[in-house]
Amino acid sequence: MEEFKLRIVTPDRVFYEGDAEMVEFNTTEGEIGVLPGHIPMTVIIKPGILRITEKDGEKTAALHSGFAEILPDKITILAEIAEWPDEIDIERANAAKIRAEERIRSHTQETDLARAETALQRAIARISVIK
């Protein structure tokens, strides 16, 4: 299987750097799975599960927002937040989910619904990575 270079950078660290056969994540256009040789494009990341398929196995993480630059032999993700499963506090994510659901359910004119929905997506992404 062919590979491409994958680099994922967040403001505080190089989250991942290596060779991958496939990378999957959520975007404003929906879930995508990128293989080597993909046509060049740039996508906007939405909260979801990041799945990296390497020659010897698979890695998963939570990826919350940012951009991905896709080139045939190289994919660069600039993310605001990315978390490996062992970095996720499940209690905190469950609490954030309940808070966001409650905010959406009881929303008023003052509620920033888009913000609450994004918070809910982040919490769901974290919980899904743990499961």
Q: Which of 122, 124, 125, 129 binds ligand ATP (CB under 6 A)?
A: 122
E strands, the chain, are 4-10, 13-20, 22-27, 30-34, 41-45, 48-54, 57-71, 74-83
Helix-helix angle 90-105:113-130, to 10 degrees: 150
Total of residues contacting ligand ATP (CB under 6 A): 12
Listed ranges 21-29, 35-43, 86-94, 108-116: which one lies at the site for ligand ATP (CB under 6 A):
86-94
Listed ranges 27-35, 49-57, 70-78, 90-98: which one lies at the site for ligand ATP (CB under 6 A):
90-98
User: Would you count residue 52 as binding ligand ATP (CB under 6 A)?
Assistant: no
